[in-house]
Structure 1
């Protein structure tokens, strides 16, 4: 069993983004969303660490953040924070898709 360090790093990035949003702008929705999605990403990383085939929580979390933050980035044109989180989330979706493809080729 290997630890999903990239997944835990992603979870920390998402959670810290919510905390920074609250600290800079006093945004309670940013804090709540950051901590909620960061927690789900952390749970997904934990599950991947326990079982490399268990990608669903990580995939749903990163896919949702890709869509939501990608839309915010498209509408605002601001890279921080929406563009950064959308880009990193998209990379996570790609990484998880590769894991799923590896799993199907092993059978």
Structure 2
């Protein structure tokens, strides 16, 4: 099974990315999106750690949402923050996607 630590790390980094986006640009949607995706990662990690249902699915959903929002922005702007968030999303997609596939 998947270790819960990566989900908590991804949660913190994603929320931190949203806060950083707000500090740099004053974008309130950055904070909202970052903390919402971070909360999905945190909840998924908690559910994985406590062997509850839908932990992997929540973490995978968070990765999909993060990838969908950050990868196009990273391609368009080629700035560090969107590239970093895209790498986090790809890591999450690989980690949780593989775990989900192996579970089936």
Q: TM-score range by the shorter chain?
A: 0.7 to 0.9
Q: Determine helix, strand or coil for the equivalent of 1:96.
A: helix
**Equivalents in 1 of 2:64, 2:20: separation in Å?**
22
Larger Rg belongs to: 1
Deviation at 1:3, TM superposition (A): 5.8
Partner of 1:102: 102
Contact 1:66 1:89 in 2 (8 A): yes
Structure 1's unaligned 5+ residue stretches are none
**Equivalents in 1 of 2:63, 2:2: separation in Å?**
20
Contact 2:2 2:96 in 1 (8 A): no
Structure 2's unaligned 5+ residue stretches are none
Contact 1:17 1:81 in 2 (8 A): yes
Given the alignment of the two structures, is residue 81 of structure 1 paired with residue 81 of structure 2, yes or no?
A: yes
**Equivalents in 2 of 1:84, 1:52: separation in Å?**
30
Contact 1:53 1:103 in 2 (8 A): no
TM-score norm. by structure 2 comes to 0.86
